[in-house]
Amino acid sequence: MLMKTASQSLTEQLCTRFAERIRTRLLAPGARLPSVRQCAQQQGVSPSTVVAAYDQLLAQGLVEARKNRGFYVRELAVALENTAHAATNIIASPVTRGGFQAQHVPVNATALIRGMFQSGSDKPQPGMGVFPPDWLETSFMPAAVRKVTSGPALQSLSLQYGEPAGDSGLRQSLSQKLVAHNVHAAPAQIVTTVGATHALDIVSRTLLRAGDYVMVEEPGWAIEFARLTALGMRILPVPRRADGPDLDVMARYCELHAPKLFVSVSVFHNPTGYCLTPGSAHRVLQLANAHNFHIVEDDTYSHIAPDHATRLCALDGLQRTIYVSGFAKILAPGWRVGFLAAPTALVEAFVDTKLLATLTTPALLEKALAWCIDQGQLRRHAERIRTRLDQARARSVKLALAHGCSFASPPAGLFGWVETGVDTDALSQRMLDEGYLLAPGALFHAERQPSTLMRINFATTQDAQFWTTFERLRAEQ
């Protein structure tokens, strides 16, 4: 709740709060601010205070007033042009640091990640995409780093670049590890990357050109939509069902647009938790063969999934398929170690793209990860995480149901796809006031649209206080 202080009036505090959310993309371009009356009720201030705060936002060029419709967040490019006097604050925004033209950056989808990096709350965050830090604490990871940096090993790792395709020892370990998923890839077919997202980017930059059509499951990972859009691709959203992608929609896309790529999360799909069935998998591969497109299978959640789950790469034998995974979800988000396994004919092209972007990847961390895999430490750690997650999921589901929510898909994996009955975009702003970061359903669509769904992290939604706050604010919508 806002409180008047000697240094800052209520109007200034309210304006600062909205301005910060706009500049950090927690309020995306096109988002509607609460009405004056609604905002006054929510913040416990007078309507005149809200009007004054909105006037300041207008003066800064951060919002625009639409007649009889309210106040809306402006595009960053417009805000930059109209607020040259505030350039010192805005130019520092991460949007401009990447070297893209601001108006070309699909910022909506990055809102959740920005919130994950910037959360100043010590409360469990329901919108987070990873396990809580205390779940990932281990003793074997520091031991692995000490192991590979002892003696002369550190000097040899530090004074030269690593292998272009990645550490050979890690690629050997990954080759053996993939056998458990029935994915057979020789070490020479594996390329290490700076996380799974980097692997997806390497595939896109190698196989696609601006203007190419790409099929992507919807709802889907918000960053994948944004990343492909930034590269100039034309996205063809494919509805994701319980058994897999909508095959009729895919077939029509193939006939009309000749897509070059299909991006899929077969196991524990984000955000629905669905898993691909064998029958659907076979039909997807038939379409790929008939219409000459590649498939990227993002298996980011493999560490918490059954080994026997259906995977396109296992059925296809890495002919038209490319396997992508990483270790941020299960081991250490900060290590940023991922990889791809690909058809032999594509490997050198992928290595070339990797070299252009990052030269090589950190050999030290790759060797440490190989040790964790070879010693069985990663496997035992994943088993402990799965057990703990099963227990957390049961508690979270019980709390969600008790507070008036339902599940749009059966709860499975790390995430729940929850029906709330209200606009979760608007609700997410109110929850931010209480210190909670939500993942509203609009973020998981190629074209942002109102949604009553939200994605929750089962590991971070066991707190009854969150659900009590959620239910109270939902009732006020």
Question: pLDDT digit string (tens) for 366-390?
Answer: 999 999 999 999 999 999 999 999 9
Structure tokens at 397: 């589901």
- Compute φ and ψ for 295, nearest 5 degrees: -125, 130
Based on the number of CB atoms within 10 Å of its own CB, is 254 exposed (0-12), middle (13-18) or buried (19 or more)?
A: buried
Task: Identify whether the C-beta of residue 187 lies closer than 8 Å to the C-beta of residue 180.
Answer: no
- Count H helices, E strands: the chain? 21, 13
CA distance 448 to 371: 43
DSSP result, 44-88: T--HHHHHHHHHHHHHTTSEEEETTTEEEEPPHHHHHHH-GGGHH
Res. 76: pLDDT tops 90: no
Task: Identify whether the C-beta of residue 46 lies closer than 8 Å to the C-beta of residue 5.
Answer: no
Based on the number of CB atoms within 10 Å of its own CB, is 277 exposed (0-12), middle (13-18) or buried (19 or more)?
A: middle
Based on the number of CB atoms within 10 Å of its own CB, is 91 exposed (0-12), middle (13-18) or buried (19 or more)?
A: exposed
Task: Identify whether the C-beta of residue 299 lies closer than 8 Å to the C-beta of residue 267.
Answer: yes
Q: What is the CA radius of gyration of the chain?
A: 23
Give the other-Cβ count within 10 Å of 154's Cβ.
12
Res. 457: pLDDT tops 50: yes
Longest dimension (CA), the chain: 71
Domains of the chain in sequence order: 10-105 (1.10.10.10), 140-375 (3.40.640.10), 379-476 (3.90.1150.10)
pLDDT of residue 156: 63
Q: What is the mean pLDDT of the chain?
A: 87
CA distance 154 to 138: 22
Task: Please name the amino acid found at residue 204.
Answer: S
pLDDT of residue 149: 83
**pTM, entire model:** 0.84
Question: pLDDT digit string (tens) for 325-366?
Answer: 999 999 888 889 999 999 999 999 999 999 998 888 988 899
CA dihedral 166→167→171→172, nearest 10 degrees, is 160
pLDDT of residue 333: 84
Give the other-Cβ count within 10 Å of 171's Cβ.
23
Structure tokens at 343: 């058809």
The DSSP 8-state label assigned to residue 165 in this structure reads T
Distance set, CA 178 to CA 128, 246, 327, 413 (Å): 27, 28, 14, 20
Which residue's structure tokens are 């396997």? 323
pLDDT of residue 20: 84
Question: pLDDT digit string (tens) for 108-159?
Answer: 555 556 555 555 568 889 999 999 999 999 999 999 988 888 766 665 666 6
Whether omega for the bond prior to residue 219 falls within 30 degrees of 0, making it cis, is yes
- Compute φ and ψ for 430, nearest 5 degrees: -70, -35
